[in-house]
């Protein structure tokens, strides 16, 4: 059935099933909403729609359930540079041949406007035009306007930049550790750090005590610089939930940890994930289990001992 996408209102095919609804949207891609989320009538701001569409584009096939929606609605918008990076990377996937030209619009050979708005986390056509024309063409010269009209191509400088972007994503050697700052989990923190280092990555933890318990720019930047996030839910800190959601929202894998006796307290929507459970007194096992999980799901890092 063709009707408006429940997130962005663009033309979409919407199928109802017992579990909720499945949507194929030109802007958001393929996703599903649980019954409760589909029935809820959220009034989303334009910024929230932009973030949700962008997140869905980076997590195709996701099913959004209740608690997750609340966290996704709190996602911070990417910076203008990050939006432009996403747009350029996506265009390079759609038009992979160097030198090939492309047009943007609603014709059958055009790159569709709603798709480009979705992948760049832009709010509307005005913002997309700004990213394309003012930012990528005029300012950075990563794209060129071939005819002066609406025919574009990626410049040599653009291809070099795309290459470095991909290398940067691959090369990041840090893992961000999100966990409770409390003496009772300090020994576990040491074990977590060892597991990360044995897998070949550098562990980064930002002391929230110096940050008035706020999710501030330094934490956001720390997550953005890391390849993946290790989240320990012992103590049920709101910051840990936020940081895990933020990492997922920016396409970074999350490894889920919790002390055995606390799993029952973890928010229901998060219990679907495959947690590594640990116990005080068995912390060497935590290190080993974490190292194995990192190597199995992300791969050995650049700092790994060559054994
Ligand atoms: Zn949509």
| SS3 labels along 212-263 | CCCCCHHHHHHHHCCCEEEEECCCCCHHHHHHHHHHHHCCCCEEEEEEHHHH
Pairing of strands 102-105, 151-154: antiparallel
Please report, rounded to a whole number, the percentage of residues in the chain having pLDDT higher than 90: 57
Distance 9 CA to ligand 1 centre (A): 6
Distance 59 CA to ligand 1 centre (A): 13
Do 102 and 91 contact (CB within 8 A), yes or no? yes
Distance 108 CA to ligand 1 centre (A): 20
Q: Is the pLDDT of residue 232 over 60?
A: yes
Distance 4 CA to ligand 1 centre (A): 8
Distance 113 CA to ligand 1 centre (A): 13
d(CA 133, CA 106): 18
Task: Using alpha carbons, select from 286, 236, 290 the residue that is nearest to residue 265.
Answer: 236
By the 10 Å C-beta count (0-12 exposed, 13-18 middle, 19+ buried), 252 is classed as buried
Distance 206 CA to ligand 1 centre (A): 35
Task: Using alpha carbons, select from 8, 60, 73, 5 the residue that is nearest to residue 30.
Answer: 60
Which of 27-41, 133-147, 202-216, 242-256 has the least mean pLDDT?
202-216
Distance 23 CA to ligand 1 centre (A): 8
Distance 49 CA to ligand 1 centre (A): 8
Distance 37 CA to ligand 1 centre (A): 15
- State the pLDDT at residue 215: 56
Distance 25 CA to ligand 1 centre (A): 5
Distance 12 CA to ligand 1 centre (A): 7
Region 150-156: mean pLDDT is 94
Distance 262 CA to ligand 1 centre (A): 37
Average pLDDT for the chain: 88
Residues contacting residue 235 through CB under 8 Å, at least 6 positions apart: 179, 180, 182, 185, 262
Region 158-181: mean pLDDT is 83
Distance 28 CA to ligand 1 centre (A): 4
- State the pLDDT at residue 170: 54
Distance 135 CA to ligand 1 centre (A): 25
């Amino acid at each position: 059935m063709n009707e408006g996408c429940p997130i962005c209102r663009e033309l979409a095919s919407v199928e109802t099933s017992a579990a909720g609804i499945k949507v194929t949207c030109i802007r958001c891609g393929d996703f599903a909403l649980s019954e409760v989320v589909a029935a809820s009538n959220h009034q989303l701001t334009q910024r929230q729609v932009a973030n949700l569409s962008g997140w869905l584009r980076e997590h195709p096939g996701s099913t959004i359930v209740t608690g997750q929606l609340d966290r996704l609605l709190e996602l911070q918008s990417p910076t203008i540079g990050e939006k432009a990076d996403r747009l350029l990377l996506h265009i390079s996937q759609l038009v992979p041949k160097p030198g090939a030209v492309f047009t943007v619009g609603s014709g059958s050979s055009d790159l569709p406007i709603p798709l480009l708005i979705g992948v760049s986390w832009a709010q509307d056509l005005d913002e997309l035009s700004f990213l394309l024309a003012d930012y990528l063409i005029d300012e950075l010269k990563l794209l060129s306007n071939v005819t002066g009209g609406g025919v574009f191509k990626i410049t040599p400088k653009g291809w070099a930049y795309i290459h470095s972007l991909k290398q940067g994503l691959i090369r990041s050697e840090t893992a961000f550790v999100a966990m409770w700052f409390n003496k009772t989990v300090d020994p576990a923190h040491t074990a977590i750090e060892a597991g990360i280092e044995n897998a070949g990555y550098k562990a980064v933890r930002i002391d929230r005590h110096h940050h008035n318990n706020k999710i501030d720019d330094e934490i956001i930047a720390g997550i953005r610089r890391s390849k993946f996030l290790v989240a320990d839910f012992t103590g049920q800190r709101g910051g840990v939930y936020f940081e895990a959601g933020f990492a997922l929202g920016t396409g970074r894998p999350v490894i889920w940890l919790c002390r055995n006796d606390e799993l029952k307290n973890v928010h229901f929507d998060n219990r679907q994930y495959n947690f590594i459970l640990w116990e005080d007194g068995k912390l060497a096992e935590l290190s080993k289990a974490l190292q194995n999980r990192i190597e199995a799901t992300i791969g050995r890092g650049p700092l790994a001992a060559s054994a």
